[in-house]
Amino acid sequence: MMKTTNSLQKPNITPKKHNEELQVPAYNLPYGMGSLHHTDYGFVYRKQITLPAGDKTRVSVSGDSPQECMEKMLQKEKRLLSMPKKDANLPLADALYQWLDTVKKPVLKSQSYTRLKSTITNQIASMNIGHLRYQTISPEEIQDHINYLNRNLRLSHSTIKKTYDCLNNFYRYYSRKYKFDNPMLLVSMPIISNIITETKDVQWFDKEDIQKFINEAHAKYHTGRPKYQGALMYAANIYMGLRIGELLSLQWKDIDLDNKRIHVYKTLIEEANPDYDPMDPESKKVRFAIQKSTKTLHTRYVPLNQKAIDLILEHQTLSSYTDPDDYVICTRNRKTTTHKNASDTIRKIEQNAETKVQASGTHILRHTCASLYFKNNVPVEIIAKILGHSVDVCQNTYIHIIETQLSEAANLIGTFELD
């Protein structure tokens, strides 16, 4: 019996008898040279190769003809056999982390780096595909993984899209660097209508809930001290619609009461602490930092109405620190508060105010602001500009509000009487 070898010569190809049941021809190859099959998508050639480190790996290539498959396999073998041992054995997850730190980290903002690392860790490294050698992974294996995230794990469209974009960017870079076929060219991202997970409905306060929330935000202890830290600014955000990171990074110098607007150009982010020491009980895994750009990387000015101004001024009279560089929502040690503290405060206000909507996140205030704009027939282009969205994102996010408007519009013309 012949021993399996890494021959870089093209094998002689002899067609086998067709499989009468499947009508799919296979091809006889010399022992140890792999298998060649014809599918509905063309020819697929699979072969086992012994890498320089001594490990064996399965390689798959596809083409429009057996000759094209043989050429691709020959080139792939040459690259794999000429690779250093450490690169030849590199699993996809390790290669992704290496790419993240050497290629992406210098050009990414801290929050974007943390988000991308989370995608690699949760959607790739922790799954089977993360253990496969990145240069031997076929388009079919990647497509199966993308489909698995959708059909089995039922992740959201945005989460799957982040995974797809991560792999796409990674393979675009490495396929050019090492000159191998980019498998992502044959991988498709599922369209939104084919995503199995259900999109969460956007919630917002109605007129009654808004009044309840604002009333409770004014609550004080018998000593006169506010019951909730930063409550009046959270109430003001019902009329401003800032993202919570934008609100928490706000400084007094960013508020222009003369021109009735707020300058939004930074956000509070949570990122992994590079100095974290698990042996130090005081060391923390995450740290907070001010990122000098917003989520959409655009500076914008948010207009202030009189209700927002009144709440801001009332909050200012109760604040201990009101210098231009002080944070508007400030802690006792003159630092900004955290996302969790903001979320907890908003939840307590909702509970004690007994609002009908008991939202679990901080976006309830932003969504309420958007609903007020929509209900007052402000054009979606203006709403998107104020909220810092693109028009498409704004329409998709607030589709439920828009549908309600359409129904109300239909009811209005239904009451119209002809002469």
Same domain, 267 and 400: yes
Quick check: 297 and 220 in contact, CB under 8 A?
no
Query: Is residue 202, in this structure, part of any structural domain at all?
Result: no
Same domain, 75 and 96: no
> Rounded to whole angstroms, how far apart are CA atoms 245 and 280?
29
Same domain, 63 and 100: no
Query: Is residue 8, in this structure, part of any structural domain at all?
Result: no
Tokens of 285: 């895994």
> Rounded to whole angstroms, how far apart are CA atoms 252 and 416?
50
Angle at Cα 293 formed by Cα 103 and Cα 213, nearest 5°?
130
Here the CATH number for the domain that contains residue 138 is 1.10.150.130
Give the number of other CB atoms < 10 A from CB of residue 267.
Answer: 22
Q: What H or E segment, with its residue span, contains residue 309?
A: helix 306-318
pLDDT value of position 316: 95
> Rounded to whole angstroms, how far apart are CA atoms 244 and 165?
26
Same domain, 404 and 256: yes
pLDDT value of position 95: 93
Q: What H or E segment, with its residue span, contains residue 286?
A: strand 286-291
> Rounded to whole angstroms, how far apart are CA atoms 12 and 35?
12
Say which residue the tokens 């934008």 belong to. Answer: 246
Instruction: Annotate 102-137 with b (16+ C-beta within 10 A) or e (fewer).
Output: eebeeeeebbbbbebbebbeebbbebebbebbbbbb
Same domain, 129 and 267: no
pTM reported for the whole predicted model: 0.61
User: How many separate domains does the chain show?
Assistant: 3
Among 171, 194, 217, residue at a domain's last position: 194
pLDDT value of position 7: 47
Among 26, 52, 83, residue at a domain's last position: 83
Query: Is residue 124, in this structure, part of any structural domain at all?
Result: yes
Same domain, 307 and 356: yes
Query: Is residue 225, in this structure, part of any structural domain at all?
Result: yes
Same domain, 19 and 100: no
Same domain, 383 and 289: yes
Same domain, 379 and 312: yes
Helix (H, G, I), strand (E, B) or coil at 221: coil
Query: Is residue 5, in this structure, part of any structural domain at all?
Result: no
Same domain, 188 and 220: no
Among 64, 83, 102, residue at a domain's last position: 83
Closest by alpha carbon to 316, among 335, 301, 330, 333?
Answer: 330
> Rounded to whole angstroms, how far apart are CA atoms 225 and 123?
46
Give the number of other CB atoms < 10 A from CB of residue 176.
Answer: 10
> Rounded to whole angstroms, how far apart are CA atoms 145 and 123?
9
For the chain, how far is it from start to end, CA to CA, in angstroms? 97
Query: Is residue 400, in this structure, part of any structural domain at all?
Result: yes
Here the CATH number for the domain that contains residue 325 is 1.10.443.10
pLDDT value of position 397: 78
pLDDT value of position 21: 39
pLDDT value of position 415: 61
Q: What is the DSSP string of 52-103?
A: TTS-EEEEEEEESSHHHHHHHHHHHHHHHHHS-HHHHT-BHHHHHHHHIIII
Same domain, 188 and 271: no
CA 370 to chain centre: 22
pLDDT value of position 413: 65
> Rounded to whole angstroms, how far apart are CA atoms 214 and 234?
9
Question: Residues in the chain with pLDDT < 50?
Answer: 1-5, 7-8, 17-24
Beta strand spans in 297-418 (E): 300-303
Quick check: 300 and 286 in contact, CB under 8 A?
no
Per residue in 49-90, pLDDT (tens digit) is: 877 666 677 888 888 888 888 888 888 887 777 666 556 568
Closest by alpha carbon to 134, among 185, 187, 186, 170?
Answer: 170
Query: Is residue 73, in this structure, part of any structural domain at all?
Result: yes
Residues 6+ apart with CB under 8 A from 157: 190, 192, 195, 197, 199
Say which residue the tokens 């490990």 belong to. Answer: 55
Residues 6+ apart with CB under 8 A from 177: none
Q: What is the CA radius of gyration of the chain?
A: 29
> Rounded to whole angstroms, how far apart are CA atoms 367 and 386?
13
What pairs with residue 133 in β-bridges?
91
pLDDT value of position 22: 37
What does each C-alpha distance from 266 to 269, 312, 319, 338, 370 come to in angstroms? 10, 19, 22, 15, 21
Angle at Cα 148 formed by Cα 145 and Cα 153, nearest 5°?
130
Tokens of 356: 């009908």
Angle at Cα 396 formed by Cα 393 and Cα 399, nearest 5°?
140
Question: Domain residues for 97?
Answer: 92-194
pLDDT value of position 1: 41
pLDDT value of position 79: 75
Query: Is residue 6, in this structure, part of any structural domain at all?
Result: no
Same domain, 261 and 329: yes
